[in-house]
């Protein structure tokens, strides 16, 4: 299958956008975790970058719980990017339903593993598994599975 110039350009743009989102996510969480470490141990030299300086005065628990908000924001960003990528590469809004299904299933698994860990009195393992699942939602992994599957389906 020969790709047209426009399709190649869209692929390149989507890759760049996903890479930028990944670097931004990593920078935000790495710096906030370092700030939390500094606040917790009180003897760690660290200064947040200027774009995160608003968090410099936040107390430990407020910053800790705000990470959940940031996680939700990045899940939404990756969800929207995934919908856009599938829409662009499939050429149909019908294919976007697979992004909804994938995100819905992984979110449901997140809830089950999180609360399963609580109810089974093994919160650390449930939380760790949930964190790994949430990582899928904050990456291009889902779109990297859906687009080739749609292309293979189209060929058959």
Least confident of 5-19, 76-90, 96-110: 5-19
For residues 38-43, average pLDDT: 89
Sequence-ordered list of residues with C-beta below 8 angstroms from that of 112, at least 6 positions apart, any chain: none
**Is the predicted pLDDT of residue 30 greater than 90, yes or no?**
yes
Which residue would you say has higher pLDDT here, 11 or 144? 144
Q: Are 113 and 129 in contact (CB under 8 A)?
A: yes
pLDDT value of position 11: 83
Q: What is the mean pLDDT of residues 60-78?
A: 96
Above 80 in pLDDT, residue 68? yes
In the chain, where the domains are located: 5-155
Does residue 1 register a pLDDT over 60? no
Q: How confident is the model at residue 71 (pLDDT cuts 50, 70, 90)?
A: very high
Is pLDDT at 2 greater than 90 in this prediction? no
Q: What distance in Å separates the CA atoms of residue 38 and residue 155, rounded to the nearest whole number? A: 54
Give the span between the Cα atoms of 62 and 41, in whole angstroms.
16
Mean pLDDT of 57-67: 96
First to last CA, the chain: 14
Report the range of poorest mean pLDDT among 4-8, 72-76, 97-101. 4-8
């Amino acid at each position: 299958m020969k790709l047209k110039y426009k399709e190649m350009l869209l692929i390149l743009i989507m890759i760049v956008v996903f890479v930028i989102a990944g670097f931004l996510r990593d920078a935000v969480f790495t710096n906030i975790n370092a700030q939390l470490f500094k606040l917790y141990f009180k003897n760690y030299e660290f200064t947040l970058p200027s774009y995160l300086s608003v968090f410099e005065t936040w107390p430990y628990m407020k910053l800790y719980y705000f990470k959940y908000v940031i996680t939700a924001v990045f899940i939404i960003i990756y969800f929207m990017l995934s919908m856009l990528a599938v829409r662009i590469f499939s050429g149909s809004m019908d294919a976007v339903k697979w992004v909804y299904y994938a995100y819905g299933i992984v979110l449901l698994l997140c809830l089950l593993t999180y609360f399963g860990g609580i109810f089974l009195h093994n919160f650390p393992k449930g939380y760790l598994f949930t964190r790994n699942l949430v990582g899928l939602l904050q990456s291009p992994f889902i779109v990297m599975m859906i687009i080739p599957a749609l292309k293979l389906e189209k060929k058959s």
